[in-house]
Amino acid sequence: MKETYSINDVAMMTGLTTRTLRTYITMGFLSGDKTDGAWSFTPEHIETFIQHPAVKPSIHAKKNALVFDFLGSKPKDHDKMCTVIDLAYGEAMKASVFFCEKISSMKPETELHFASEPMGTGVRIILSGSPSDVMDLLNGYYTVKE
């Protein structure tokens, strides 16, 4: 697991925009360290932020929107896939880091969406995109995990 995450990493994990995250920083809901103009956040910063009562509903809505948009959209001229995975908390943190790093390194035109949300003692992870991209990501994770 990474020791610190960038604002772009937090945006990918939460589904919120970097502009929204900067507003939350200004409001004091998200804490982090700013070095040479770049924000960095520890896993503890992120956990505190996503559990904040004023923030949790907006993150939850973003996560649900990913699934609802998938289910509510009309079939496209290309295949799409959406998968939901529930993992224990420790395993989910490893998976989230893996998915964030892999998605961040993909070509910008790759249409792959990722969301994660704490659910009780675990975390729900949602992946959406082309079946080959989603399967490559899942296979990559489960190959590394073994």
C-alpha distances in Å from residue 35, one per residue of 6, 10, 67, 97, 136: 11, 16, 36, 22, 35
If DSSP codes are grouped into helix, strand and coil, which group holds residue 1? coil
Task: Look at residue 43 in the predicted model and tell me its pLDDT.
Answer: 86
Angle at 36 between CA 93 and CA 2, to 5 degrees: 15
d(CA 137, CA 133): 6
Please, what is the average pLDDT of the chain? 85
Tally of domains in the chain: 1
Average pLDDT over residues 56-68: 80
27-58 pLDDT, tens digit each: 999 999 999 999 999 988 988 898 889 988 88
Nearest to 14 by CA among 1, 29, 36, 26: 29
* Domain assignment of residue 78, given as a range: 5-145
User: Rounded CA gap, 93 and 90, in Å?
Assistant: 5
- For residue 12, give the CATH number of its domain: 1.10.1660.10
The pLDDT > 70 percentage for the chain reads 97
Strand-strand pairing, 5-6 and 38-41? antiparallel
User: The whole model's pTM is what?
Assistant: 0.66
